[in-house]
Amino acid sequence: MITPEDYSYLSALLRTKSGLALGPGKEYLLESRLPPVAKAYGFASVNELVATLRTGPHQELIKAVCDAMTTGETFFFRDTVPFDLLRTTILPEAADRCRRAGRALRIWSAAASTGQESYSIAMLLADMGVQLSGVRVDLVATDFASHALNRARRGLFTQIEVQRGLPERYLRQFFINTPDGYRLADDIRRRVAFRELNLLESFRSLGQFDVILCRNVLIYFDSLTKKDVLDRLSSALTPGGYLFLGATETAFGLTERLVRIPDVPTSLHVRREDVTVAEQRLRVGTQAASVA
């Protein structure tokens, strides 16, 4: 049983270290997720683990606790619309701009979990082939949770995972059925550079991106943290760049720097100064896609 004191202590720890705003009444989450961490580190109980945490900075243990409390729910081509927009409109247009500017097209999956989001994009890029020819694409995927990233890097998925959202055609084209699971083709796997990154910390060193997907992670943060991350994400967008949030997430009411594009059935944001141009591009792109 988690005591009220341990609950307050762990809530504060999680909030400052990973941004997770546990809120009241979530004892059951700690009670279900922390016993394996306690066991792995040789503690008889979660209470013992917390007692040790209280004695000083145990960085590895803190990270293990925070990792265990993350929720990695994800699947291929989640919500469909962002990937349709990328394929029909955003990537061809961004590729054109990058080609003319002689620079790489840069995409960031900012809460990558076990890799399905970034690999969906990698498959899309492979599928788009000639449309993107002559442009180098940098595809970066980051997450806080080491265990999720380790799985992502392996590129090995279960039958259930490949049955969630992945078009049959892509399963046949890009996966090999092995005794260990469905292995993603090496050339798709190599397109993604995975890195551990805590969104609470500076991500300036990653540079700027034409497309950022930061989906279904802000929901776990409190408003101040959401605002801070969104403000910094707006600075990580190239002029004219796009930010996809999760279907239920919005920057509205949190930051003035980002504006949601109306009339697009997904949570797509751009920098305030880019709204008019982005709306026009999306209109033109969508018309072209429906004619094709």
Ligand X SMILES: C[S@@+](CC[C@H](N)C(=O)[O-])C[C@H]1O[C@@H](n2cnc3c(N)ncnc32)[C@H](O)[C@@H]1O
Residues near ligand X (CB under 6 A) are 18-19, 70-74, 78, 111, 113, 117, 143-145, 148, 198-200, 215-217, 220, 246
Of 89 and 216, which has the nearer Cβ to ligand X?
A: 216
Rounded to the nearest 5°, which phi and psi values hold at 192?
A: -110, 130
Of 2 and 111, which has the nearer Cβ to ligand X?
A: 111
Of 16 and 287, which has the nearer Cβ to ligand X?
A: 16
What is the CB neighbour count within 10 angstroms for residue 156?
Answer: 18
Shortest Cβ 191–ligand X spacing (Å): 17
Of 198 and 250, which has the nearer Cβ to ligand X?
A: 198
Shortest Cβ 260–ligand X spacing (Å): 17
Rounded to the nearest 5°, which phi and psi values hold at 242?
A: -120, 140
Long-range contacts of 56-63 (CB under 8 A, 24+ apart): 61/37, 62/13, 62/17, 63/17, 63/146
3-class DSSP state of 239: strand
Of 247 and 275, which has the nearer Cβ to ligand X?
A: 247
